[in-house]
């Protein structure tokens, strides 16, 4: 053992962005255990209600019997090990392959997936296993993608390897806060000048209006409600008796005081009714044990984290395009993205990593968060169409003739009303003789009384009990929304898995498929995987800053995230090396691209899953919404933007 307390052991080569060493520090409370990169993945087999039969059921997923006991965390000796726990979670998900209708070789070849870590640290100051769950989901994603690669390029004598770094999975969970445009991050006040203004109603750029989306006290002591003005703000502010605009009100603390004084005039029940009448996205902050007693919670707690079902129709298999020269798993696959904000665009960003042609369609009259496009539009084309106009519908329906995947992240039913929902698209697929994969992403899931409600990451975190658990972890008697939009990214990964699964089945057996993912179900997956053991949580608290514990229920998402980001940058500099800056043979977790549309270089988080024998990386840079024509033909044009490092 070195004098500095650092123990190293050489392991098998990991992916480019991970260390070829696993390093632990015996003096650190959270440096836990030295172990090989490659891990044996063997856990219990879950029991199912009925045997899986793809041909005899429209509903491919199977309902798993509810388990009331928490999964036991993986331990190395008497110490908690993040990388071992990741493998345990991954193995648990693999054992549920039939529930998720995964390709059969995901379970059969689960040992082809390996997880690596350079430090084996718990990175996020959150009581839930966020890094471990994200990495496990990335393992599933990579395994399904590898199954498609075997279909498309042929399987080798040995299973195609998939590698996932815990550090890369951590970066994935907060990638909006790691992205930069012209060297400026989301938290830099000067970044606005580099962005296209798609915040049409100043719901993001105005501090007062932005705080219409925040967690506040209610009339009843100990009760909290998260109001949410979405991208409009005025309706929610007027709902509680405030003006939609207050240009005189700019002080952060004063804004909180003014708004919370109003929310404290109502009970959560009253706010729920007012919220319902105006179709706003607010919600009561429940504790988990209370949420699962609600009719909606009872119905959803035992449901799969994501679903893939077969849509009506009888169609032959749709082979993948014949052009395989670049060894990109989804090359030639055409994807229409009908999404805004984070979770939905994350689904298609992941598909872009595998080479799909992603065309994001947005309305020029609807707001979107400007900065999220820097990271979220990576690898895509982005066009504006008004689907309520005759010309817009005509252009859109021309795109539908060749589309393979549609990702719908709008409020449940919105695209159905326009005639572009899953059932209508299945009928279109039947008419054209080629199957389609339709993926929905929403907040509250797809069954139960709240399924039609709008929602955001903070709303899901509050309704499921994640926020209360975070507050209790911090020693507070209040809920606190966790840092970073991690639920968004986890949900996006589940949606991408659903899309990949649908494409696999479409190619293998034919038909059209419907994938479903929700923020609520990602949070319920976190609860199912269990919180860190009490002693691990205590050690995690000991290394947090005083600023972390000073965060309150009413602090904004950016205030919470910026506080945690600052601490993580100090404690884990290896996560934040600039693109192109190697250290000890390890590449950084971000990459640098030129962007003609932004007129500057952009820095974004790299793809996480590394699959042997294929080329899974972006083929184009990011751009703001509305930068391109609504045309598939433009994907054949060689672009000026290049990857710099």
610/628 Cα distance (integer angstroms): 30
Q: Mean pLDDT across the stretch 336-356? A: 99
Convert the pLDDT of each residue in 566-595 to its tens digit. 999 999 999 999 887 876 667 899 999 999
Which pLDDT score is estimated for 584?
63
Convert the pLDDT of each residue in 238-276 to its tens digit. 999 999 999 999 999 999 999 999 999 999 999 999 999
Which pLDDT score is estimated for 74?
77
Confidence of residue 488 (pLDDT cuts 50, 70, 90): very high
pLDDT at residue 93 tops 90: yes
Are 101 and 305 spatial neighbours (Cβ–Cβ below 8 Å)? Answer: no
pLDDT at residue 479 tops 60: yes
378/346 Cα distance (integer angstroms): 9
Q: Mean pLDDT across the stretch 471-498? A: 99
Which pLDDT score is estimated for 585?
60
Q: Mean pLDDT across the stretch 541-552? A: 98
Describe the strand order of the beta sheet including 224-227 as a list of residue ranges: 214-217, 224-227, 283-284
Are 502 and 426 spatial neighbours (Cβ–Cβ below 8 Å)? Answer: no
43-194+308-645 maps to which CATH number?
A: 3.40.50.10540
pLDDT at residue 283 tops 60: yes
491/501 Cα distance (integer angstroms): 15
pLDDT at residue 3 tops 90: no
Are 411 and 383 spatial neighbours (Cβ–Cβ below 8 Å)? Answer: no
29/26 Cα distance (integer angstroms): 8
391 burial class (0-12, 13-18, 19+ CB within 10 angstroms)?
A: exposed
Residue 360 gets which letter from DSSP? E
Are 236 and 276 spatial neighbours (Cβ–Cβ below 8 Å)? Answer: no
Which pLDDT score is estimated for 578?
85
Q: Where are the beta strands (DSSP E) in 152-231?
A: 162-165, 180-181, 184-185, 214-217, 224-227
Longest dimension (CA), the chain: 73
Quick one: tokens of 489? 């990214």
Q: Rounded to the nearest 5 degrees, what angle is found at the Cα of 614, between the Cα atoms of 613 and 619?
A: 155
pLDDT at residue 345 tops 60: yes
Backbone angles phi, psi at 578, to 5 degrees: -65, 155
Which pLDDT score is estimated for 277?
97
Averaged pLDDT of the chain: 90
- Bridge partners of 593? 602, 643
246/611 Cα distance (integer angstroms): 52
- Nearest CA to 31 out of 9, 1, 5 is that of 5
Least confident of 72-86, 223-237, 460-474, 598-612: 72-86
Q: Mean pLDDT across the stretch 195-215? A: 98
Q: Is the dihedral of CA 549, 550, 554, 559 positive or negative?
A: negative
pLDDT at residue 54 tops 50: no
* Distances 239 to 140, 199, 221, 231, 243 between C-alpha atoms, Å: 43, 21, 21, 15, 9
403/436 Cα distance (integer angstroms): 7
Helix (H) or strand (E) holding 600: strand 600-605
Quick one: tokens of 629? 């024509």
pLDDT at residue 1 tops 90: no
Convert the pLDDT of each residue in 33-43 to its tens digit. 333 333 333 33
pLDDT at residue 53 tops 90: no
Which pLDDT score is estimated for 71?
60
Are 488 and 343 spatial neighbours (Cβ–Cβ below 8 Å)? Answer: yes
Quick one: tokens of 400? 């539908």
Confidence of residue 26 (pLDDT cuts 50, 70, 90): very low
Confidence of residue 77 (pLDDT cuts 50, 70, 90): low
Which pLDDT score is estimated for 106?
97
pLDDT at residue 12 tops 50: no
Question: 372 versus 2: which is more confidently predicted?
Answer: 372
pLDDT at residue 13 tops 60: no
- Nearest CA to 561 out of 190, 129, 177 is that of 177
Q: Where are the beta strands (DSSP E) in 379-436?
A: 380-384, 405-408
Convert the pLDDT of each residue in 386-423 to its tens digit. 999 999 999 999 999 999 999 999 999 999 999 999 99
The segment(s) of the chain belonging to CATH 3.30.1540 are 207-298
Which pLDDT score is estimated for 28?
33
Are 320 and 502 spatial neighbours (Cβ–Cβ below 8 Å)? Answer: no
Percent of the chain predicted with pLDDT > 90: 85
The segment(s) of the chain belonging to CATH 3.40.50.10540 are 43-194+308-645
Q: Give the residue carrying structure tokens 């899986």.
A: 52
pLDDT at residue 59 tops 50: no
Buried/exposed code over 172-203 (b: 16+ C-beta within 10 A; e: otherwise):
bbbbbbbbbbbebbbeeeebeebbbebbebbb
Convert the pLDDT of each residue in 318-334 to its tens digit. 999 987 888 999 999 99
Question: 583 versus 14: which is more confidently predicted?
Answer: 583
Strands 437-442 and 513-518: what pairing?
parallel
3-class secondary structure for 440-501?
A: EEECCCCCCCCCCCCCCHHHHHHHHCHHHHHHHHCCCCCCCCCCCCHHHHHHHHHHHHHHHH
Quick one: tokens of 24? 């632990």
Residue 617 gets which letter from DSSP? S
Fold of 207-298: formyl-coa transferase, domain 3 (3.30.1540)
301/386 Cα distance (integer angstroms): 38
State whether residue 225 is helix, strand or coil.
strand
Which pLDDT score is estimated for 10?
26
Which pLDDT score is estimated for 27?
32
Q: Mean pLDDT across the stretch 62-90? A: 71
- Nearest CA to 308 out of 526, 57, 106, 609 is that of 57
Are 458 and 215 spatial neighbours (Cβ–Cβ below 8 Å)? Answer: yes
Percent of the chain predicted with pLDDT > 70: 88
């Amino acid at each position: 053992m070195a004098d500095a307390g650092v123990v190293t052991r050489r392991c098998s080569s990991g992916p480019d962005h991970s260390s070829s060493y696993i390093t632990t520090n015996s003096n650190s409370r959270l440096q836990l255990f030295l172990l090989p990169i490659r891990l044996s993945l063997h856990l219990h087999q879950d029991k199912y209600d009925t045997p899986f039969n793809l041909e005899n059921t429209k509903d491919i997923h199977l309902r798993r019997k509810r388990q009331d006991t928490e999964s036991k965390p993986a331990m190395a000796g008497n110490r908690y090990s993040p990388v071992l726990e990741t493998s345990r979670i991954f193995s648990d998900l693999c054992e549920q392959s039939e529930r998720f209708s995964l390709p059969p070789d995901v379970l059969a070849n689960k040992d082809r997936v390996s997880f690596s870590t350079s430090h084996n640290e718990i990175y996020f100051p959150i009581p839930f296993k966020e890094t471990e769950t994200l990495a496990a989901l990335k393992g599933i994603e990579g395994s399904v993608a590898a199954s498609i690669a075997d279909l498309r390029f042929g399987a080798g004598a040995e299973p195609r390897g998939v590698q996932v770094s815990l550090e890369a999975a951590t970066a994935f969970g907060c990638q909006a806060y790691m992205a930069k445009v012209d060297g400026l991050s989301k938290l830099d006040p000067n970044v606005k000048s580099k962005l296209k203004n798609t915040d049409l109603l100043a719901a993001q750029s105005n501090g007062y209006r932005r705080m219409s989306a925040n967690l506040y006290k209610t009339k009843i002591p100990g009760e909290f409600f998260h109001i949410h003005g979405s991208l409009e703000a005025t309706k929610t502010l007027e709902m509680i008796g405030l003006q939609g605009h207050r240009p005189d009100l700019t002080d952060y603390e004063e804004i909180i005081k003014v708004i919370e004084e109003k929310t404290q005039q109502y009970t959560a029940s009253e706010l729920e009714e007012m919220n319902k009448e105006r179709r706003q996205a607010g919600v009561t902050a429940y504790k988990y044990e209370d949420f699962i007693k609600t009719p909606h919670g009872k119905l959803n707690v035992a449901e799969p984290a994501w679903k893939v079902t077969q849509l009506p129709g009888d169609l032959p298999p749709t082979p993948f395009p014949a052009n395989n020269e670049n060894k990109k798993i989804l090359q030639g696959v055409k994807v229409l993205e009908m999404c805004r904000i984070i979770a939905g665009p994350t689904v298609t960003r992941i598909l872009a990593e595998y080479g799909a042609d992603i065309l994001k369609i947005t309305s020029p009259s609807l707001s979107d968060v400007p900065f999220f496009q820097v990271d979220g539009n990576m690898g895509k084309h982005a066009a504006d169409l008004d689907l309520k106009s005759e010309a817009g519908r005509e252009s859109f329906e021309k795109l539908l003739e060749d589309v393979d995947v549609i990702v719908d992240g709008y409020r449940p039913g919105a695209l159905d009303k326009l005639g572009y929902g899953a059932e209508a698209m299945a009928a279109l697929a039947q008419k054209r003789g080629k199957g389609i994969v339709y993926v929905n992403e929403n907040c509250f899931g797809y069954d139960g009384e709240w399924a039609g409600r709008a929602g955001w990451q903070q709303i899901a975190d509050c309704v499921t009990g994640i926020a209360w658990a975070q507050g209790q972890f911090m020693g507070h008697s209040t809920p606190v929304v966790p840092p970073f939009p991690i639920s968004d990214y986890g949900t996006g990964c589940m949606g991408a898995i659903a899309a990949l699964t649908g494409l696999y089945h479409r190619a293998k057996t034919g038909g059209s498929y419907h994938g479903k993912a929700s923020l609520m179900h990602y949070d319920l997956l976190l609860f199912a995987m269990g919180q860190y053991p009490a002693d691990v949580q205590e050690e995690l608290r000991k290394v947090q800053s005083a600023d972390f514990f000073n965060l309150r229920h009413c602090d904004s998402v950016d205030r919470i995230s910026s506080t945690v980001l600052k601490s993580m940058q100090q404690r884990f500099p290896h996560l934040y090396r600039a693109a192109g800056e190697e250290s000890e043979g390890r590449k950084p977790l971000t990459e640098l691209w030129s962007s003609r549309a932004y007129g500057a270089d952009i820095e974004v988080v790299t793809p996480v899953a590394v699959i042997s024998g294929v080329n899974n990386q972006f083929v184009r840079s990011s751009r703001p919404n509305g930068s391109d024509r609504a045309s598939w033909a433009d994907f054949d044009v060689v672009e000026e933007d290049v990857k710099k490092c």
